[in-house]
Copies of this chain bind each other. A is one copy, B any other.
């Protein structure tokens, strides 16, 4: 199971599920058509309430990443070709700036940060755990 929940994190439990499915889809660990665990099944495995898992799935469907079929289950949706809008780009830029600020206060200057980002991008399509 590639999903793991940290109950002591400040990140809401349903949000942790959303984040991890998002990552799995983005990195193609999950392919379109793949079936996700059922709401109740996943709730038991992660020791969560079924309502919490359902909330995560509903958020993911709202984003268009998954499709749910009554009585059948939940599946990874087809990836729709999409071009980032100017608003999207502005939002992404803002997020980058926020990260630059945080990195600066941790002692990482923008140029060094950019090198680090380059390395992360280079490792983008690798399996999961880089080293042992």
Determine if A116 and B88 form an interchain contact, defined as CB atoms under 8 angstroms apart.
Answer: no
Given contact pairs A23-B101, A99-B95, A102-B95, A108 touches B121 in the complex (Cβ within 8 A): no
Tell me the count of chain A residues lying within 8 A, CB to CB, of chain B. 41
Chain A 88-132 per-residue mask, 1 if CB under 8 angstroms from chain B, else 0: 110111011111111111111011011011101100100000000
Q: How many protomers of this protein does the assembly include?
A: 2
Determine if A100 and B88 form an interchain contact, defined as CB atoms under 8 angstroms apart.
Answer: no
Determine if B116 and A117 form an interchain contact, defined as CB atoms under 8 angstroms apart.
Answer: no
Determine if A116 and B95 form an interchain contact, defined as CB atoms under 8 angstroms apart.
Answer: no
Determine if B23 and A65 form an interchain contact, defined as CB atoms under 8 angstroms apart.
Answer: no
Q: A22 — nearest CB in chain B belongs to which residue?
A: B101
